[in-house]
Amino acid sequence: MMPIVVGFLDSIVTKHFATMSLQGIAVGMNEAGLNQCSGTLFKIAPLLFSGSQPTSYGITANWNVATPPVFNLAAAPAALPHLLSALNKAVENLPDEVQFDVRQAAEDTPSFNVLLSPVNIVFQDDQSGVETPMSIDVTIYCVAEVMDGKIQLSPIKAVKAPISDAITNTIVDKILLPRLINMIAAIFQGLSIPPISVVGVPMGNPNIVIQNRKLIAFTAPIGIPASISSDMTFPDNQFFILMDNSFLQAITNINIGSGKTVSGSGSVGISAGGADYTYSITVANPSIAIKGTGMNIDFNLTGSASAEVKVLWVPIPVGFKASGEPNPSATASFQVSGNSIKVVIERVSQFAPDLSPTGNPLQWIISATLTPIIQTVAAAVVPALTTFIHDIEFTSFDIPQFNIHSGGVNLTINPSKLNAMNWQGHLGFTGVLIPQTS
C-alpha cells in the first residue's frame, strides 16, 4: 500500500473538512523558494538524481536528471484520478461512509507537479555493450497532506510522452518511472517540515493548502478554528508568515493575561483628623489590535481601596472602587531576534486610577473629601504599573527551520532577512530561504 494511502486512512477519522475563512497563523513558501532549495540539493548531491537498473530485456538503463527538479505549484488536477485509484483499492473493504470520507479528502487534497527535464537515459546492451542515448521529460504528480500531525509531500504518478519503440517505452514506464518516483519520495520523506509551535500555547493540528502558487501551512491555538479563505492572496516572497488578531490575542493572553497587581497601605493626615488606607489595583485582560506592523494593547484597570477616617476620633470606614481613567494602553512592535519574533513595548499611554466612592451617603460624602488618599494611591500605583507594561517582552512565534536528510546529505534551510509588513490587515513577515549544508 502506498504511504500516502496509509496516511489518509490514519488521519481520516480526525481530519475536519470545512469551508475556509481567515483565522490563525500561516507559514508559506513560493515556487522560487522551493526551486532554490531544489537547486542547492541538486548541486551538492547529484548522485541522488541518477541511477542504473538492469532489465529482463538484456538491457541496462543508466539515467540521470540533468537539471534540478522544478516545482510547479499550479493545481495538478491530473493527479486526482491516480490518487483516487490507489485509494479505492485501499478502502474497498471498509464501510461505505469511510470510503466516502476518504474520497472526499482526496478531492480536497492540494496537488502540484515536479518537472524533471530532461532525464538523460543511456540504454546499454548487456552483450554487445552498444549504447543508445535518449532524453525525455518527466512530470511527477504530487500531493501535500497532513499525516500524524505532520506535513508530508508525496509523489503519486510519473508521466511522460509515449516512445515509439515498444520495448523502450515499456522499460521506461515499468522500470525507470517507478525509480524516479522513488527518488522524489526519498527526498520528500527526508524533508522535515516542523509544526507551527509557540512556547506555552497548545496549537491545533496543521492544515495545508496550495493557493496562488504558494505552499501554505496554517493552524491556530486550540479552541480557535484555523482557516484561510479561498480567495485570499499571499505575498510573492520565497518565505512568509502571516498572523491575525485571534492568534496574537491568544499569544498575548498566555504571556501577560494575568496582568499585575499593586497593593499597599499607609496613613495620611487631613483636616478631619486622619485616615488609614489600603489599596489593591490590577491591570489585566489585555486586548490587542494589529496596527500597521505593530499592535496596540489595551488593558483593563480594576481594584479597590478602603480607608478608615477618624472624625473627632470616631473611625468611619469608607470604600472606593477603582477603574481606569483612562485605562492604560501600549504600543508594541515586533522584532526579529535570532529565530524568534518578539513583542516589545515601545510606548505606554498616560493613565490614572479613578477611585469612586462606594457605600452609604455619609461614606460618599466623607470619601469625596479624601483627595490626599487618592493622590497617594495614584502616586504609588501608576509608576509601578507603567514599569510593568513598559517591560513587557515575549516571543510571539519561533521561526521554523527546515531540513532535508536524504542519501547521506544534510541540508538546512533557514528563513532569513525577514521584514515586517501588514498584509490585508494581518501582521506579516517576508524573507528569503537560505539553504546550507550541515
Kindly give the pairing relationship between strand 111-125 and strand 59-65: antiparallel
Residue 18 has pLDDT above 60, yes or no: no
Under DSSP, the state recorded for 205 is P
Mean pLDDT calculated for residue range 46-71: 95
Q: Would you identify the CATH topology of the domain 3-195?
A: Bactericidal permeability-increasing protein; domain 1 (3.15.10)
Give tens-digit pLDDT for 271-296. Answer: 556 678 899 999 999 999 999 999 99
Q: What integer pLDDT is reported at residue 273 of this predicted model?
A: 60
Residues counted in the chain: 438
Q: Which helix H or strand E contains 133, and what residues bound it?
A: strand 131-147
Q: Give the mean model confidence (pLDDT) for residues 20-45.
A: 90
Cβ-in-10-Å burial (0-12, 13-18, 19+) of 76 comes to: buried
- 181: cell is 518516483
Alpha-carbon gap, residue 153 to 109, rounded angstroms:
11
Answer yes or no: is pLDDT of 392 > 70. yes
Q: Which of 103-107, 221-225, 336-340 has the lowest mean pLDDT?
A: 103-107
Residue type, 9: L
Nearest of 342, 336, 355, 337 to residue 419 by alpha carbon? 336
> What does pTM read for this prediction?
0.86
Task: Answer yes or no: is pLDDT of 16 > 50.
Answer: no
Contacting residues for 90 by C-beta, under 8 A, at least 6 apart: 1, 2, 5, 8, 9, 102
The CA radius of gyration of the chain, in Å to the nearest whole number, is: 32
Q: Looking at the predicted structure, is the pLDDT value of residue 368 above 80?
A: no
Rounded Cα distance, 84 and 98, in Å: 14
Pairing between β-strand 214-219 and β-strand 150-159 as defined by DSSP bridges: unpaired
pLDDT greater at residue 195 or residue 248: 248
Task: State the pLDDT at residue 374.
Answer: 81
Partners of 118 in the β-ladder: none
Residue 377 banded pLDDT, cuts 50, 70, 90: confident
pLDDT for 67 beyond 90:
yes
209-248: b (≥16 Cβ within 10 Å) or e:
bbbbbbbbbbbbbeebebbbeeebebbebbbbbbbbbbbb
What mean pLDDT comes out for the span 126-132? 95
Counting residues of the chain whose pLDDT is more than 70, the rounded percentage is: 86
Mean predicted lDDT score pLDDT of the chain = 86
Work out the pLDDT band at 105, boundaries 50, 70, 90: low
| pLDDT for the residue numbered 29 | 96
**CATH (one of 3.10.150, 2.30.30, 3.15.10, 3.30.310) for 250-396:** 3.15.10
pLDDT at position 38, please?
95
Predicted confidence at residue 17, as pLDDT, reads 38
Query: Residue 292's CB: how many other CB atoms inside 10 A?
Result: 12
DSSP secondary structure string, 233-283? Answer: ----SSEEEEE-HHHHHHHHHHHHTT-EEEEEEEEE--TTS-EEEEEEEEE
Contact status, residue 92 vs residue 84, Cβ threshold 8 Å: no
Which is it for strands 207-211 and 214-219: parallel, antiparallel or unpaired? antiparallel
How confident is the model at residue 271, as a pLDDT?
52
Grouping H, G, I as helix, E, B as strand and the rest as coil, residue 141 is strand
What pLDDT digit, counting tens, does each position of 223-243 carry? 999 999 988 999 999 999 999
**pLDDT > 90: what percent of the chain?**
62
Least confident of 66-75, 156-165, 372-381: 372-381
Which range has the worst mean pLDDT, 21-35, 223-237, 361-375?
Answer: 361-375
pLDDT of residue 336: 93
Query: 119 to each of 51, 133, 172, 426, how far by Cα in Å?
Result: 11, 11, 11, 43
Find out whether 376 and 438 touch, Cβ atoms under 8 Å.
no
pLDDT value, residue 137: 98
DSSP 283-319: EEEEEEEEETTEEEEEEEEEEEEEEEEEETTEEEEEE
Cα separation, 136 vs 120, in Å, equals 7
Mean pLDDT over 284-313 rounds to 89
Q: How many CB atoms lie within 10 A of CB 96?
A: 8
pLDDT of residue 20: 35
Q: Indicate whether 181 pLDDT > 80.
A: yes
Return d(Cα 250, Cα 339) in angstroms, integer: 20
* Location of each CATH 3.15.10 domain in the chain: 3-195, 250-396
Q: Determine the Cα–Cα distance for residues 365 and 385; give it in Å rounded to an integer.
A: 29
Nearest Cα to Cα of residue 288 among 330, 344, 346 = 330
Query: What is the grid cell recorded at 139?
Result: 512530470
pLDDT tier, 102 (very low <50, low <70, confident <90, very high otherwise)? low
Residue 21 has pLDDT above 70, yes or no: no
Which cell numbers in the block locate residue 427? 501582521
Q: Look up residue 98 and give its amino acid.
A: V
Of 138, 238, 189, 203, the closest CA to residue 398 belongs to 203
**In which band, very low, low, confident or very high, does the pLDDT at 2 lie, cut at 50, 70 and 90?**
very low
Dist. CA 350–CA 372, nearest whole Å: 20
